[in-house]
Amino acid sequence: MSNQTTVITYKEAKSQINTLGISLFIYIATMAVVRYAFVFRDKIFNEDINIFLINIILYGGFVLVTIFSLLPFFVSSKILNLKMRDYYQKVKIPFGTWLAYICLGIAIQLTVSSILVVVGLVPSNNIYPQEFIGIFSSVEAIIINILYIVLMVIIKPICDEYVFRGIIQRKLGHFSRSFGVIASAFLYALAQLSLADFIPAFFLGIFLSMICLKYHSIKPAMKIQVGIALFFILMSFIPNNFYIASIAIIVIIYIIVAFVLFNRVIKFPNLSHRAFDKDLWVMMLTSSSIVLCIIIQVINYVVTQILR
């Protein structure tokens, strides 16, 4: 069966982008509500309630909301006639290549975040404490740590890949595969809960989009993001007085990445000039639903700075 190119009008193209944008707006708005539930948790809950119980309620709700946020995108995929099963192909990748991909993703996040902190371009995004991390002294503490791990290591990475690589990148890639990579990474960054996460998420989004483009499947990217998330969770469990162990692990990560890059162990598809096609970017960024997404996130970033 040969591939056929479908010609659509500019108006139809913007309509398709708006279909994605509406789902993205719902996702961003929902996540913003959840975020501010954490910020104002002291005012929402009675002071007599144990802090661990509050966290269990909040993170349990976060898990449910994250899963529920997939529904609008599922509807969008049906409207846009995206056959998601075609993008769930099993891919055989050697263990060494998996390790290289995960280490490269970790290095991207660490490097970009570190540069931003050093130059002071982006402030801290820690506007509410997560004092339960790594504490297993009670049943409640164990439960909240498990909820946190399930959310950050399993549910969020899988949902992110389904939404941003499986649906958004795939649809935008119909206009240009290279544009789909960069544009989906931008929208992935835009959907982050804080300005401090925006730039690291953009570069990580490009990396994960390239993985999907290379293998024509979101499964490898899902596994890679799970591995990256697991690394940062485990690092957060290391006590502060074992900082030397943390440094040693990070050094090993960079050594692996240096070896991979120097020996060209992994290769990515080349991006064409269409990745930065002016007409495509204007079409996307002037779509009403995408404009709403940008506005709500700008407001969110400003409020976050005020609350710091």
Of the two residues 165 and 126, the one the predictor is more confident about is 165
Instruction: State yes or no: pLDDT of 171 exceeds 80.
Output: yes
pLDDT of residue 34: 85
Examine residue 3 and state whether it is found in any structural domain, yes or no: no
CA-nearest of 194, 196, 168, 163 to 182 is: 168
pLDDT at 2 over 50: no
Q: Let me know if residue 1 belongs to a domain.
A: no
Residue 228 has pLDDT above 80, yes or no: yes
Average pLDDT for the chain? 87
Exposure class string for 86-119: b at 16+ Cβ within 10 A, else e: ebeeeeebeeeeeebbbbbbbbbbbebbeebeee
Q: How confident is the model at residue 4 (pLDDT cuts 50, 70, 90)?
A: low
Q: What is the pTM of this model?
A: 0.91
Look at 66 and 123; give whichever has higher pLDDT.
66
In tens, the pLDDT along 10-52 reads 899 999 999 999 999 999 999 888 888 887 887 888 777 777 8
Please say whether the dihedral angle defined by the alpha carbons of residues 131, 132, 134 and 136, taken in this order, is positive or negative: positive
Residue 2 lies in a domain: no
pLDDT bucket at 295, cuts 50 / 70 / 90? very high
Host domain of residue 296:
10-307
The reply to whether 302 falls in a domain is: yes
Q: Is residue 131 over pLDDT 90?
A: no
Domain annotation covers residue 4? no
pLDDT of residue 144: 86
Question: What is the tens place of the pLDDT at every residue in 79-108?
Answer: 999 887 778 888 889 999 999 999 999 999
Q: Is residue 256 part of a domain?
A: yes
- How far is 268 from 213, CA to CA, in rounded Å? 9
pLDDT at 128: 56
- What φ, ψ does residue 145 adopt, rounded to 5°? -65, -40
pLDDT at 123: 56
pLDDT at 134 over 90: no
> What is the sign of the dihedral through the CA atoms of 84, 29, 235 and 239?
negative
The pLDDT tens digits for 245-277 are 999 999 999 999 999 988 887 888 888 888 999
Domain count, the chain: 1
Q: Is the pLDDT of residue 1 over 50?
A: no
- What was the pLDDT predicted at 122? 60
